[in-house]
Structure 1
Amino acid sequence: MHRVEGLPGEPGPVGLTLALGRLRRLGITGYRVALPAPGHPLGLSGPPEFNAAALEAEEAVVGFGAPYGLVPEVSEAGPEGDVHVEVVWRCLPVREAPPADVPSLGEAERELAEALREATEALTRLDVAGSGPVADAARDAYRARAEASAGREVLAPGYPGRAVRVLELAQRVGLLISLASGHGHGGAVSASEMAARGAALRPVERVARRAQVAAYNAWVEERERERG
């Protein structure tokens, strides 16, 4: 269940369809995705209230064409055995400014190619891929997830082909990071080895998030260039 609260002209929460229609009438013609993390306000443009809410949620969407953004609050409700997820999107004012730290698709593609090499090297250097039944199962899971994603439509029709390539590569890097970060894989078991693993992979994770945002926002960025 999705609802939107804080919508201009509405005293209480409303359904998502009504909310998106109202926001369109207010001037919004598209949305940018933001995937911020502590110390990295990726995709945000302010003001501080919106940025703080988005950082807490670790995700948000920022309207294009009118100064409104949406931040999700996800919760579970219902009795045991019949639990469902509810999402309340808080509508907040945003600053009409370029989003923070979002690369072009060309930049993202180049960065990802290097990040994929670094992630692969990190897996080997930290012995995350290791040997034994646990590591074998992890590699099998990685291959299965990669094969399952092959050929699926990762973006809606109308996106440039480069955005699709960038997003698919970013998701592949994300899978490698997930494997490398998993506990019980390989020989990195001490606190210092775990810290080394995180330090090696943190820059790669940052690049992957930047690339995802660039890919998801490619359609809106193209509309903005046409308008300019």
Structure 2
Amino acid sequence: MQSQNRKVILFIDNAAPHKPVSLKNVEMFYLPANTTSIVQPLDQGIIHTFKAYYRQMIVRKQLLLLEKGNTVEEFKKTFNLLTAIHMIKRACWMVKPETIANIFKKCQFVKESFEVKELSQEADGIVELVNSDEFLHEEYLNFVHCDDKLPCYGESTDVDIIAEAVSGAEALSESSENELSIPTKREVFDSINVLRKALKPSNSFMQEIEDIEQYYFSISSIKNVQSKITDFFKN
């Protein structure tokens, strides 16, 4: 931002962790106290839409494994921190720009007159993609909203910090024990061919599949070449 001489204003609420800091190209603006649920764009629908996408991915992955005969406990073992980070990134990018723009308008960040569109439309569409059954529809909505009232910060005591560190170490150890085995080269190419056959009737993503195949072939070929100690001293 400094090299581009960009000036940014950062709107934040008065939560305890949001301490004022001195930044060169960023000006921090605190929202009025007790107005987060009214004027903060994230609380007006952006977080809700993000969580709907994120939990849609969880439901789909779980259904796929259940169809293969796996149990819920086995499904849990396929998840780790890296998997969650990738899913969070994808869910963030899936929120449509027009949804974000409309939410900022609803919070009156724009002065001129405008017509605010229905903000729940995108999130409702995500729910419809999961299942059309009325009961499962309601269950999914409850899943999306399950942590709406969950505190996201607070003062931790020494006992809390130690307990969290111990539980984190145990979870990491269990995750390492249940680490998924790396597929063989043949298994990877077989999977790529299965994907190619599945998408061929619609002629979708054919070039992307070829790119993935070529990329994996190149990196797998590099791994098969044993490094010499003299290679580390080459310029």
Q: Which has the higher strand share?
A: 1
Q: Which has the higher helix share?
A: 2
TM-score range, shorter chain: under 0.3
**Length-normalised TM-score, structure 1:** 0.25
